[in-house]
Each structure stands twice: as structure tokens, then as C-alpha cells.
Structure 1
Amino acid sequence: MKKMLTISLIFSLIVITSFIKNSTKKIDEELFSLKENILNLNLELDNVKLEFDYLSSSEKLLSYQNLYFEDKLTLKNINEIEIIDFTKEKILTNDVKIIDSEK
């Protein structure tokens, strides 16, 4: 009887250990996936912060224009701006529609 109890105890420990190992492996895979997603999101956040920092004010844009482009940039009227559509075989241009969001 004592031998049977010892064998059943060892067998149950092996089964429990196997179950715990499989559960831990699944959790580890989920953690790895989440860490990868967080890393990608952090990179995207850094890029957006950088873009915001450098393009957030008109004064900065004007200083960059003077610093890098000198007289290469010209002022355009908003009505002269068009959207170019390359989805079809022909190149189509559409006027930009300005929507006042304050209304």
C-alpha cells in the first residue's frame, strides 16, 4: 500500500509539473508578444513626439525655412492646392475642400 501511495504521489507531481510548465510557457509567449507590441508603440510614440516637437509652431517652421530652404519655398493660396489621385490609369486632380470645424 505504501508503495502505491508513493507511485501515485510521484505521478501526480509529474502531471502537476507538466501542467505548470505548459501554463508558464503560454504566459511567457504572451509576455514576449506584449513586449514586442510595446516596443513598436514606443518607437511610434518617439517618432510622433519628434515630429510634434519640430513642427509644432509656425515660428519653428519659418526658422527652418530660412535655415534650410532660403528662397526655395513660396507662399501659395489655399485655393491653389489640389489632391492628386494615382489610383486609376489617369492622373486626376481634385480641389481641396476646407471645412470649418468651429461651426
Structure 2
Amino acid sequence: MSKRLTFTAIAILSSLLAASCGDDPELVRKRDQQRAEIRKLEGELSILKEQLKDAPKDRSAELKELQGKVKSEREQIATLEKEVADLESQRRKLDREFEDYRQTYPVR
């Protein structure tokens, strides 16, 4: 019985060994192509990582902040221009009142 068990074990091991030694050439070719593609993609990835390292930083937050400041400044300018127009109107009114006063009470 042990001879028969040994023979069966040897037969199974031999069949496994024979199956693993005979790689399909098509599969070997595909594996080599995939390895070459992996190397190519790894190279491209390293180039992209290097480019990202040298890329300028994102300045959109600064731009948004500056746009807010510009809007605030424009609103302030509009407010000041309105104040100037109101003051000019008031000055013209006071000039007319003064002129009326001078005509009413002439200086001798």
C-alpha cells in the first residue's frame, strides 16, 4: 500500500510539475506586454509627479479675496461720490441763499 501511495503522489507531483513548466506562449507574451506597459505608466507617473511639484500654487483663494476687496472699494467709491454730489448740491443751494441775502441786504 505504501508503494501505491508513493507512486500516486509521484504521479500527481509530476503532472503538476509538467503543467507548470509548459507556460502558454500567448500568456507569456501578454505578461511581458503588461510589464512593459506598467513600466511605461510608472515613468509617466513620475514625470507628472515632478511637474506637479514644479507647478505654481493655486491662487484662486487670493483672487477671490482681491475680488472682494475690489467690490468693497467700488462700493466705498460710490458712497463717496454720492456724498460729494450731495455736498455740491448743498453748496449751490447755500450760494443761492447767500446771493439772495446779499441782494436783500446790500453792503454800504
TM-score tier after normalising by the smaller chain length: 0.3 to 0.5
Which protein has the larger Cα radius of gyration, Structure 1 or Structure 2? 2
Bigger relative contact order (CA 8 A; separation at least 6): 1
Q: Give the strand-richer structure, 1 or 2.
A: 1
